[in-house]
Amino acid sequence: MDRDRLTAFTDGVLAVIITIMVLEMRPPHGTGLKDLVALWPVFLSYVLSFIYIGIYWNNHHHFFQLVKTVDGAILWANLHLLFWLSVVPFATAWMGENHFAAVPTALYGASLLMAAIAWYVMQLVIIHRQGDASPLRRALGADIKGKISPVIYLIGIALAFFSTIVSDLLYLGVALMWLVPDRRVEAAILASEKAARK
């Protein structure tokens, strides 16, 4: 089955998610600088979520260059991921509107956690389907970032009830960790292209 329609649909959903989040940033009623500045928690939440969706798109882009064919299981694993990412705007709005209150901050972490789990499941499904010679498995290696992230989200969720600023810094830290381009996959793509050219 064709991979391109899966990636095109994913791009469409992520493009809508990343853009409708800004609809939650309602223009303030007043017109003073003060009214604008009061929106800072909404804006910061939006920035963080924009970066997260950007990271997922980026990684999706990378991964699926190592996935040439897809089947029903991969389609659904991908839709499962998109589902949890589609919950992120909801969690973002709740957290931003309530100045990083405890439960909204925990929910935000939970939406990231679920997306991370969905990503991991998708990875497993693809590797299982690619079999022993899976180029994705070789590219992932120990996949330390993928294993650490859910743990940090969990800590962030738990700490939200004590100090939401620590939670937010943890969420930000994971984002920064992933912002560094995934050299493992880039190297594997180059290697497989080299092999193909021979």
Q: Which residues bind a copy of itself (CB under 8 A)?
A: 1-2, 5-9, 11-20, 22-23, 25, 27-28, 31-33, 35-36, 47, 50, 54, 57-58, 61-62, 65, 71-73, 75-76, 79, 82-83, 86-87, 89-90, 93-94, 97-98, 101-104, 107, 179, 181-182, 186, 189
Report the distance separating Cα 144 and Cα 149, nearest Å: 9
Q: What residue type is assigned to position 13 of the chain? A: V
Residues near 170 by Cβ (< 8 Å), separated by ≥ 6? 109, 152, 153, 155, 156, 159
The CB-of-58 to a copy of itself minimum distance in angstroms stands at 6
The CB-of-22 to a copy of itself minimum distance in angstroms stands at 5
Q: Is 159 helix (H, G, I), strand (E, B) or coil?
A: helix
Q: Which helix (H) or strand (E) holds 114?
A: helix 102-130
Helices (H), ranges, 1-39: 3-20, 33-37
Helix axes 3-20, 72-97, angle to 10 degrees: 10
For residues 22 and 53, the answer to whether their CB atoms sit within 8 Å is no
Angle at 76 between CA 136 and CA 95, to 5 degrees: 95
